Structures are given as structure tokens and as C-alpha cells.
Amino acid sequence: KSFHIGHVKNAVFGETIRRILVLNGNKTITVNYNGDVGTHVAKWLWYFKKFYKGKIPDEKFIHWTGEIYAKACEKAEEKPEYKDEISELNLLVDKRDSSILPIWKEIRDKCYESYMKIAEELGADVQKIYPESDCEEPGKRIVRELLEKGVLELSDGAVIANLEKENLGVLVFLKSDGAALYAAKDLGLLNLKKQDGFDKLIYIVGSEQDHYLKQLFTVFDRGGLSKKEDNVHVSYGLVTLKEGKMASRLGNVIVYDDLKDEMIKRAKKEIEQRNPDLKDKDEIARMVAFGAIKFSMLNMDNPKPLKFDWDEALDMQGRTGPYIQYTHARICSLLRKAEAGGTIEASLLKDEKEISLLRHLSKFGQVVENAGRELKPLIITNYVYELASKFNEFYQFVPVIKADENVKKARIGLIEAVKQVLCNGIWILGIEGPEEM
């Protein structure tokens, strides 16, 4: 499928959680669980083999795969026999049949390669990939073991977990024909993670899976596979369009390439209007574009959905990434004019705006600790925005360069401290701080 704006939210949100955990002294390993089998994969391969006449592109590969998938979904509805053909091809994929295996592996590997490039652009540290296809057989084995133990049970030939006592309904692991569903594969995934030595598992998954993951963690615990408290679902709200929820099969998604290119174009236009003589406009536009995207993704409570707004995300005066970045650039400019470093002499910092800045700086460690305990990027965005706002108020009303020499040194020292903490905060958010804007 296309890597779209919803996937960007997942990557940015997950990476920020990782950085918060790292600053709280944790060792983290970041992994992706990718769906490389199933009906959607078979549908894609079916259309590609039966109808596609072009070449496999090297540029914007993921964009192309998404287009193929949308066309496959549309084509599959034209004739009833097409669905039978897709089902047959799905069986071939499940059996790793030699007639389909080479192209399946080629497209899958190209997808993984493209995803890793996107992760690098987004600054997301993905250390390992678990393919869904590696989880199916170990998952089925664990299902059989849990069935023998009485943790799972048979119902009309299917293997299920009856979770009615926990008010969680029923969770199906194997269909009556023996086919493994997502829950069975998640058991296999858990097994692979345990082999890699994880102590705690944090699932960064959209809020539509809240109920399912409660069911899954209950089965983990009931089956003695993993304690419920060692599995944490950090749920986040979906990214939507004004037209409604996005769906890859409908083709109504903002794909990553388009999101990035459009945001860079808009950022560059804004920069040219504000500072036409600025050097390295392309690089700064890239930094501002990604800052706008990331801050908008993170600046809300975890469960709250996002309706992405281009103009709002790029607003230099609003609660946005570019506003924070502009503040950083303003600080850099002021320090260049100062030409010398400062030393915070607290007794000389008497203005209420200076005291307000000092107090806010002193809270940073506690803020990071709180964000780690609650696993909420919003705690960091709130802090960083308030720091930028307090600095800009200070900058507007408190003289620095023209102050008495000792006071000047104290204020420059304060500004250097603001810059350091601001850099620390935006690092957590994966945002870069331009020195000019």
C-alpha cells in the first residue's frame, strides 16, 4: 500500500515516544510489524500479474504500489470470478508456491527498502522488521498449545478465546478451515519478540484497535505468555481528511511523497516572501516542512484525531513547528550579534520575564519524566511552545545587547540556556532548528 499521512503519524508518534523513553534512561529497540501476506497482498499481485503492462519503477516506488492497490480494489469488484481468482492466488502465497514466490519477494523487499528510506527522512530509528509471514506458523503452534491447555476453545470448528467474563466478547484465532487470523499471528509475533529479549512491549497502534489489543493482552496473560502489565498500547487518534476517513483501497489518501513535496513547496514560498536574501533556502524549507508536519502530528492529546491543515501547520505565528523553529533562529541571530558567551549571574536577572524563563527552564527534567510516565508527546510540545513564547516575550521587552555589561552577560547566559533546552525539546520531537529563517 501507499505510505500515507496516517503512516507518517504512526512513525513520528512512535519515534517521539522512543526518544522520551531514552531520555528517561531506558534502552529501546524499535521494530515494525509489516503485513506481507493476506488478501490485500494477493489482490495487489493478482492485478499486477493479470492487468499491469508497465515496468516496476525505481522512483516513488511506494507511491506506485499504492496506485496499483487502489486499481486492484476497483477492478476486483467488476466480476464475481475475480474474487475467486484472488482467493486462489492468496492460497499460492500462503503455500509460498514457486509460481508466485519470486515476484512476491521482489515487491516485498522493494517495499521494505522504500519504507526504510522514508523512516530515515523522518528521523525514525527502525532497527528491525518482523514480517507477518514469519509469524503465521509459530502463531498456529501457540494456538494449538493454548487449545490443549484450555485457554482457547473450539467453536463450530474455529479456535476462539471466550472473553465474556472480562466484557471483551470473543476473539477468533483460527477459522474453521484452519486459516490463521491476525490474533494467531500476533501470538507468533510475541514469540519472536520474546526471543529478542524484550522486557516490556509498547504497541504504537491507532485507536481503532483499542478493543482488539485489550483482548489480545488478556489472552497473553491468561495463557502465561506475557503479563498484561508488560504490554502497553499507546493509542493515538487517526489522521483524517475533510472528506472523511482515508482508505488505501479507495485511493483517497495523501501519500507521503505528495505530503513532503507540497509542504516543502509551501515552506519555500513562505521563506522567499519573508527573507528573499536567505541562503540555503531549499535546506531550510525542508527543515521547516518536516517541522510543520511533525509538530502538527504531536501537538494534541494521544486519542484526539487530526484533520491536517496545510496553512495551519505552517503558520509562523501559531502553535506550530515553524513558530518554534523561528524562535530558535531568532535566538541564534541574537547570540551572533552578542559576539561573546554569557554567564548566568542569577542575582542580576530581576525582570519578571527573566524569572519566568528561569522557572520554566528548571521544569524541563520533570516534564520529560512526566512525558515518559504518561507516554504523551503533547507534554513536550506544550513545554516547548511555552518556552518559545516566554522567550519571545522576553526578547520583545528586555534589552540584551544594549544592557549594562554585567547584565548583558547574565542575559546572554540565560539565552544560551534557553537555546540548549529548546534544542533538547525539539530533538525529542524530531524537529531540526535552523539558525536562519
* 427 vs 275, more confident: 427
- Over 90: is that where the pLDDT of 251 sits? no
Helices 5-23/364-374 angle, 10° precision:
120
DSSP 8-state secondary structure symbol assigned to residue 134:
G
- Over 70: is that where the pLDDT of 104 sits? yes
Query: Residue type for 23, please?
Result: L
Per-residue pLDDT at 236: 96
* 345 vs 243, more confident: 345
Owner of C-alpha cell 502463531: 139
* Residues whose CB is less than 8 angstroms from the CB of residue 17 and which lie 6 or more positions away in sequence, other chains included: 202, 204, 234, 375, 377
- Over 70: is that where the pLDDT of 241 sits? no
- Tell me if 159 sits within 8 A of 153, measured CB to CB: yes
- pLDDT (tens digit, 9 = 90+) per residue, 28-69? 999 999 999 989 999 999 999 999 999 999 888 988 998 999
Residue 253 phi/psi, 5° resolution?
A: -120, 150
Helix (H) or strand (E) holding 351: none
- Cα–Cα distance between 345 and 349 in angstroms, integer? 7
Sheet harboring 239-241: ordered strands across?
244-245, 239-241, 306-307
pTM equals 0.92
The CA radius of gyration of the chain, in Å to the nearest whole number, is 26
- Over 90: is that where the pLDDT of 225 sits? yes
Confidence of residue 344 (pLDDT cuts 50, 70, 90): confident
- pLDDT (tens digit, 9 = 90+) per residue, 140-185? 999 999 999 999 999 999 999 999 999 999 999 999 988 899 999 9
- pLDDT (tens digit, 9 = 90+) per residue, 408-428? 999 999 999 999 999 999 999
Provide the mean pLDDT of the chain: 93
